């Protein structure tokens, strides 16, 4: 029940050439506290309840627990969510033995593209495609729970 991941900005849409699938995602937060974020997600036609703990000092590792729900259950739980919904399209892109999840945000976060890669251990080597930009692992501005409350357009350094 531990997630190890690194997160990057994406500097071009060249990743779409190598994407082998995508999904539509809507998510909200029952609790966006960094110590115990509780997320509701609808991914295509399936629902999910996810609990995430606080990240370690490097931002790469944290507790994660997930349970699949029916779409109807997830939609009902959306009624209890905090204000701010994340809407995004997630592309899966293979790079060596790993798969990047590349999120293209819509709504209040339109223009933001983030790539995440899950690893087996913190210092595991991985391929960095040319479309990968600055690493933002551990930068809480790019956590979805924070983007739901403070959209990226509100940041003065976002182009």
Beta-ladder partners of 95 = 98
Distance CA 106, CA 99 (A): 22
Residue 47 in any domain: the answer is yes
CB-based burial label for 107 (10 Å; 0-12, 13-18, 19+): middle
Question: Is residue 65 in a domain?
Answer: yes
Q: Does 158 fall in a domain?
A: no
Catalytic residue chosen out of the listed positions 22, 29, 100, 142: 29
Query: Is the pLDDT at 159 greater than 80, yes or no?
Result: no
Tell me whether residue 144 is in a domain. Answer: yes
Residues spanned by the domain of 103? 2-153
> Is residue 154 pLDDT above 90, yes or no?
no
- pTM of the predicted protein model: 0.94
The CATH number that applies at residue 54 is 2.40.320.10
Strands (E), the chain: 2-10, 19-31, 36-43, 46-53, 61-69, 86-95, 98-105, 113-118, 132-135
Count of the separate structural domains present in the chain: 1
Q: Is 29 annotated as catalytic?
A: yes
């Amino acid at each position: 029940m531990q997630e190890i991941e690194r997160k990057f900005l994406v500097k071009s849409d060249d990743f779409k050439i190598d994407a082998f699938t995508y999904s539509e995602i809507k998510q909200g937060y029952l609790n966006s506290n960094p110590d115990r974020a509780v997320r509701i997600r609808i991914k295509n036609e399936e629902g999910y309840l996810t609990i995430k703990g606080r990240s370690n000092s490097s931002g790469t590792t944290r507790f994660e627990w997930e349970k699949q729900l029916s779409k109807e259950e997830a939609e009902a739980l959306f009624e209890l969510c905090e204000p701010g919904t994340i809407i995004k399209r997630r592309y899966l892109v293979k790079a060596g033995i790993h798969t990047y999840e590349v999120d293209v945000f819509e709504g209040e976060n339109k223009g933001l593209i983030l790539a995440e890669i899950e690893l087996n251990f913190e210092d595991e080597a991985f391929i960095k495609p040319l479309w990968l930009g600055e690493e933002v692992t551990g930068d809480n501005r790019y956590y979805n729970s924070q983007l739901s409350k403070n959209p990226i357009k509100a940041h003065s350094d976002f182009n």
